[in-house]
Amino acid sequence: QECIVPRCVLSAVDATYCAKFVEFLHFLQLPFSLIQLLGSILSYAPYWLTCVTVKEAHRIGVFVHMVMHRMMTWRLETQAYEKECGSAVGFRDK
């Protein structure tokens, strides 16, 4: 969160990179909770938007859009969820 958030406001390319980076971390099966990471990042999004410029808000929107698009794919497509998240470390409760 502390590395991703500052970078995603630098440019639209950086916001895209950050979203792809989060996705890449998930696919590497690293021992961290993807749900907690995304939850903390997305829960702070409304607070960011009150203290950033219009261009920075657009960049945050690019990042959030890309992350939410992936999450909606998992939610709506059972096969995609099972394939990409079924045994993923980041989706375990404990």
pLDDT tier at 12, thresholds 50, 70, 90: very high
Give the span between the Cα atoms of 29 and 27, in whole angstroms.
5
Give the span between the Cα atoms of 15 and 63, in whole angstroms.
5
Give the predicted TM-score (pTM) of the model: 0.80
Q: Is the confidence at residue 87, as pLDDT, over 60?
A: yes
Mind listing the pLDDT tens digit for each residue in 16-74?
Answer: 999 999 888 888 887 777 778 878 877 887 887 788 899 998 998 899 899 889 888 88
